[in-house]
Amino acid sequence: MNHEQTFRAILIIGALIVFPIAAYHRIRSQATGEKLDRRQEGLLLLLTIRPVGIASILGLFAYMVNPSWMAWSSVALPEWLRWTSVGLGVFAGGLLIWTLRSLGKNLTDTVVTRREHTLVTYGPYRWVRHPFYDATALVILANSLVAANWFLFVTGVVAISLLVVRTKREEERLLARFGDAYRGYMERTGRFFPRRGG
């Protein structure tokens, strides 16, 4: 097996572990049958986040099916960097799973909260307010470096950037929903990085 096939196999194994767990949590969170008004994200974000994310995921799947399909966007990276990124991917996948378990039925793909939504401040939420975005960013970085592919990196960065922009609106909704409890949580924890001394 050549090195490209080894990295492909690693990404396939990672996807076979993480995707079913993520799908389970997504399906479980939908069990209420509650309709969420995604239009509250704003038109620009509504029309861009999902298509860019889907393009990135399709690119990753194309690489996993046959790396030559994504050869047009491959870059030469040192093997040590690709192997280091495998370790980063393991960490990021673990953080993502921990975040999904902590969120439970509060998981949504929009800024709108569910009627039974609770304020989650445990698990990775103890240190940062948006560990799901942190984990997603690390997964994107790891996958694009393991695959040595600029398309995966660029589409991932665009998707994460849009999520970062959306965060302001998301936090406005959480403040409106949870009031002083969320305001206090904001003071104790960083948005994407832990606060010093926190």
Question: For position 138, which CATH number holds?
Answer: 1.20.120.1630
In a domain, 33, yes or no: no
In a domain, 195, yes or no: no
Instruction: Please give the pLDDT value at position 1.
Output: 54
Instruction: Please give the pLDDT value at position 192.
Output: 96
In a domain, 133, yes or no: yes
Name residues whose C-beta falls within 8 Å of residue 41's C-beta, 6 or more positions apart in sequence.
49, 110, 111, 166, 169
Instruction: Please give the pLDDT value at position 197.
Output: 63
Angle at 11 between CA 8 and CA 13, to 5 degrees: 110
Residue 61 structural domain? 3-28+43-188
| Tally of domains within the chain | 1
The whole-number average pLDDT for the span 79-90 is 97
Global confidence as pTM: 0.93
Instruction: Please give the pLDDT value at position 108.
Output: 86
In a domain, 38, yes or no: no
In a domain, 102, yes or no: yes
Name residues whose C-beta falls within 8 Å of residue 154's C-beta, 6 or more positions apart in sequence.
none
Q: 135: buried, middle or exposed (CB in 10 Å: 19+, 13-18, 0-12)?
A: buried
In a domain, 35, yes or no: no
In a domain, 160, yes or no: yes
In a domain, 124, yes or no: yes
